[in-house]
Amino acid sequence: MPPSLSDLLEDSDEKFAAVAADGRILACSRALREALGWSEEQVATASLVAAAAPEYRDKLRGLLARVFAGEADVRGHTQMLTQHGHRLELHVRMHRARDGESAWVSLQCEMARVHGQIGGILASATSVGLIAVDITGRIVRFNRGAERIYGIAAEDALGRHFDTLPSDPDEVAERIRELSQEFGRPATKLDTYTLRAREYGSDDHSSTIPRADGTRAYVEVVTSPLRETTGEVIGYVGILRDVTATRLAQAEHERLANRLRGALLASTDSIVVTERVVGEDGRFDLVIVEVNPGTTRLMNRPREKLIGMRVSEFAGPRRMAPFLAKYERVIATGEALDEDIRVDSELLPGVEWLRHQAVRIGDGVAITTRDITKRKRSEVQLRNSEQRLNMALEAAGDELWDWDLTAGTVFFTRGRDNTSHTYSEAELAHAVHPDDREAFHEAVRKHMSGEAPTFHCEYRARTAKGGHRWVLGRGRVVARDASGRPLRLMGTQTDISARRRQEDALRQAVRAAEAASRAKSEFLAHVSHEIRTPMNGILGMVELALLDDPPPPARERLRVIQDSARSLLAVINDLLDVTKIEAGKLALAPVPFDLHATMQRTVDALRPRAEEQGLRFAAALAPEVPRWLVGDPDRLRQVLVNLIGNAIKFTSHGEVQVEVGAQVTGERARLRFAVRDTGIGIAPERLSAIFVPFEQGDASTTRRFGGTGLGLTIADRLVRLMGGAIAVDSKVGVGSTFSFEVELPCARETPRPESRTPPAKLSPAGRRLRVLLAEDHPINQLVAAEMLRGAGHEVAVVHDGHAALAAVESTRFDLVLMDVQMPGMDGWEAAAAIRKHADPRVRAVPIVAMTARATESDRLHSLERGMDGFLTKPVQIADLQAVLATIGQRPNGAVDDWDAVIKRVAGSRTTLLRMIEMAREEAPKLAEVLRSSAPNDPEVMRQAAHRAAGTAAMFSAGELLALARELEGVATQVSESERIARVERLIDAMYRLTDDLVARGRELAAETSS
């Protein structure tokens, strides 16, 4: 389909319009509309005549009258006014439309038609300046050559009047005077550029241009007029040829010539004037045409023998080739040569250094040389003295050395006794201890090659008595030859023997401290194990006895036993926490949590204790305290339990108050917790000791109230880990206030998953399980077996790891409860052997570790050996129930529809097992990407969530799929704290799926092997 008129008007870059006889615009191109600054609404009522400058409106009416009278092609020029009041110089061309009712009017910038002329000039003027002005003197062209000459950017020059360009005032005034006299009328600055070109057709003249950087440019200018086809002059173009270099060279040449003429005879320097010649071999050479008396003295030759001699003959072409290359460059570039050169003593006996200068004179070179040997020797001596003095001052009494690489000697001076000695390099190498020589020479090599800024090395140096001492050597290269090769090094040598002895002693002390810390940790872990083993029996039997619904007196006695055992267990846990804190191994685990719920659970747990003592107990959260935060709720609750528990323990009457306030700024909240009591108070002199381990107010306090004195220590260290500190305000007999502040990120409301904690009484979970119990202690065997049988499960008991391995080889078990410390083969070794077993059915059995060593390293070690879970003794019914629930209810896992998954792999168990293994390997990598990107890279997090969604869809994991797609959709829209919260929920669901897949994979592998 051909383009419409409206399309042509919008797409054309030409300025044209359809105009009625009275000047009304009937249609207008986009280019003309934009040039005049009109809107489309303005075009509808615009008149071409009204838009013209007042003095051009009658002329424009006349042009329209001519075209509507029948004239075929009407041309002229006009000035149009833009909406901003600017004037446009335009060439007008009109012809009548076919309908006879309108005319097409084309408007072009006057200079646009001569772009062809200027374009040709521009193409041939890339190395020269070009300036074009219109008839009023406004600059319309300013090429790169003009930018370089004037030092003005084109965008700054275009549109300016020619008169504003920089010029030499005296030169312009003289040219104006000449033109005024020549043409019999006053001339202007613009006339200096255009008048003769207008009158004679062209003009050429010289001009001086001062630049902003203080330099001056000298140019030859040729100006020509630009004419309309009618012959009317519409502007001028000037070509500027930069002759600055030529002018400067001529001036320099004249200056040097005058200088040489006066200096030749008077100067004591050697001055040789030469001219360029070409040798017989076609190579560049110079012939001597004049010398002064200083030359004859320096060369010890009469003038007559020097005149006509070629420079290459002075010392032979090979030796003189580098100098001839320099002289050729002087002639080619006009740049003077000025250098100090070392001289071969065979050519000029007694002369070591010359000051060598050369300048271009015509087609030759004037060479000036001066004997500076004495000055150079003095400079070297002075520099050596200054360097030695400076290094001696820096050495402050230590040893100073000066290594002359050319002579192969090392000069040593000792500041303490002011003695010195010179050694050979061989003696220096022998003085360094054999074990340190390689490092010493490597440090020297690295510095001399430039790889290291200085020489720096610690090594053992031989003493006068034949022993060795530790020294620190430092230095740097202070002299190099013309090629950069080092000639001399200087530096100091400091005795560091005492420092090395201190460092050795410190390292030994650190090792001893680390060994003591390890021993203490091992001791506490061992004590924990020895105590937890009988405690397992006590607490286990008590729990079992309570399940039998004993009579009230017996139940009360059992509760006392249970509370006492748990108190002892709390002491053990406190000891382990202190050990972790001191070893720097206790870390916080921040997650989104409900602060209100955490406070409620804490208060509810402690309220009975307060009420038993007849205390008023109140807790208040200020309205501004946010509900959802990101932090470690378990450790925060541990701090609060310690502080509130102490307040209740040391208050016999009155009240205990807990207050929580907050100051929320953006997405962070600064929380203030305060626990006030009306208890016994703390004496001022004891306040500084209450956070010290095993310390309380005083000995009587310990006797009266009991306790280890570890609670406040742990609370203080935990608060410091959270970035805060506990403050205390207390008065004896009045009470105490413990307070602390922590800053946590806010989180949006995060629904918590339903509690997986089973009821207190054991009951079968999903299906009857066959459990293997590997435990060497009879009491622990009895407790665990009773718990398991009470839940309706079948239990087999073995006493060591070898028996456990034999049992799983002969019998199929649903679960192995494995004590990790047993005689013979321990639980870890047994678990590793099971996981490496050739029988897939044996390899697949779930294993849960049981240990009384409640350390993080034990837990990690168990998981590394292939165990699936970890239980700390004494084992509680609730903990055991959770493990049994995981095994017993396995078919109801994270996968919603196993049949659908099996259909996707066309029933291939091999493909399914391979997919399960890929998902297991992918999960930790994906979790790491999600956690690292959540704070500040939501796009990467979104991509990771998309990958998780793909895995969920493949395995019909509805919960994971919903969480992943939700996170993928809002990743770039929610706050940082919200992203972190959603990521943690997603990772939790992903690991639940992984657990389900791995368990199913083991079952499939076992079924396949059978």
**Span 630-648, average pLDDT:** 89
pLDDT, tens digit, for every residue of 137-177? 999 999 988 999 999 998 899 989 999 999 999 999 999 99
> The CATH number of the domain where 266 resides is what?
3.30.450.20
> Is 569 contained in some domain?
no
- Of the three residues 442, 460, 495, the one that is the final residue of a domain is 495
> For residue 211, what are its two tokens?
């630049």
**669 in Cβ contact with 630 (< 8 Å):** no
Cα-based distances in Å from 691 to 361, 377, 575, 710, 727? 92, 74, 14, 8, 11
Q: What percent of the chain has pLDDT over 70?
A: 83
Question: Do 347 and 419 share a structural domain?
Answer: no
Residue 651 lies in a domain: yes
pLDDT digits (tens, 9 = 90+) for 272-323: 899 999 877 788 999 998 888 888 888 888 989 889 898 888 777 788 888 8
CATH code (residue 941):
1.20.120
The mean per-residue pLDDT over the stretch 400-420 comes to 80
Whether pLDDT at 37 is above 70: yes
Is there a single domain that holds both residue 30 and residue 102?
Answer: yes
List residues bridging with 868 in a β-sheet: none
Inside any domain, residue 543:
no
Tell me if 673 is assigned to some domain: yes
**Alpha carbon distances (Å) from 317 to 310, 322, 376, 719, 873:** 10, 9, 28, 86, 97
Please indicate whether residue 977 or residue 204 has the higher confidence score (pLDDT).
204
* 852 within 8 A of 529, measured Cβ to Cβ: yes
pLDDT attached to residue 515: 76
Q: pLDDT class for 812, splitting at 50, 70, 90?
A: confident
Does 313 lie in the same domain as 407?
A: no
pLDDT in the model for residue 110: 53
pLDDT of residue 892: 42
Residue 712 and residue 594 share a domain: yes
- Is there a single domain that holds both residue 706 and residue 645? yes
Tell me which of 334, 354, 371 is where a domain ends. 371
> CA 818 → CA 726, 781, 806, 995, distances in Å?
42, 11, 14, 20
In a domain, 892, yes or no: no
C-alpha angle 519/520/522, rounded to 5°? 65
Partners of 74 in beta bridges: 94
pLDDT digits (tens, 9 = 90+) for 453-508: 999 999 998 888 888 899 999 999 999 988 889 999 998 888 888 888 998 888 88
Residue 835 domain-assigned (yes or no): no
Q: Which of 859, 880, 889 is nearest to 999 (CA)?
A: 889
- Band (583; pLDDT cuts 50, 70, 90): low
Joined together, the tokens standing for residue 989 give: 């669901």
Q: Among 131-135, 215-219, 258-262, which stretch is predicted with the lowest mean pLDDT?
A: 258-262
887-907 pLDDT tens trace: 654 444 467 777 778 877 777
Residues 356 and 416 in one domain: no
Question: What is the model's pLDDT at position 423?
Answer: 86
- Domain membership of residue 565 (yes or no) is no
Nearest to 352 by CA among 330, 327, 378, 321: 378
- pLDDT value, residue 524: 66
pLDDT at 755: 34
DSSP E strands in 505-627: the ranges are 591-594, 616-621
Instruction: Report the CATH number that the domain containing residue 709 is assigned in CATH.
Output: 3.30.565.10
Residues 204, 227, single domain; the answer is: yes
Taking alpha carbons only, the member of 531, 536, 534, 605 closest to residue 575 is 531
Write b or e for each residue in 132-162: b if 16 or more Cβ atoms lie within 10 A of its Cβ, otherwise e: bbbbebbbbbbbbbbbbbbebeeeebeeeeb
Return the SS3 of 455: strand
Task: Count other Cβ atoms within 10 Å, centred on residue 336.
Answer: 14
Q: Are residues 592 and 740 in the same domain?
A: yes
Residue 758 is predicted with a pLDDT of 34
Domain enclosing residue 252, as ranges:
248-371
Give 1: exposed, middle or buried? Use CB within 10 Å, 0-12, 13-18, 19+. Answer: exposed
State the total domains in the chain.
6
> Looking at the predicted structure, is the pLDDT value of residue 765 above 50?
no
Rg (CA), the chain: 50
Task: List for the chain the helix, strand, coil content (%; round to 5).
Answer: 50, 25, 25
- The pLDDT, as a whole number, for residue 760 is 34
Inside any domain, residue 807 = no
Residues 109-121 pLDDT 10s: 655 445 545 554 5
Q: What is the mean pLDDT of residues 553-557?
A: 76
Choosing from 708, 723, 745, the residue where a domain stops is 745
What is the average pLDDT across 550-564? 76
**616-621 and 655-665 strand pairing:** parallel
Q: Decide if pLDDT at 682 tops 50.
A: yes
Domain check: are 29 and 132 in the same one? no
Q: How far apart are CA 461 and CA 436, in angstroms?
A: 9
State whether 359 and 406 are in the same domain: no
Same domain, 327 and 430: no
| pLDDT reading at 122 higher than 60 | no
**428 Cβ contact partners less than 8 Å away, ≥ 6 residues apart:** 410
Same domain assignment for residues 646 and 702: yes
pTM above 0.75, yes or no: no
847-891, pLDDT tens digit by residue? 998 886 655 566 667 777 778 778 877 777 777 877 777 665 444
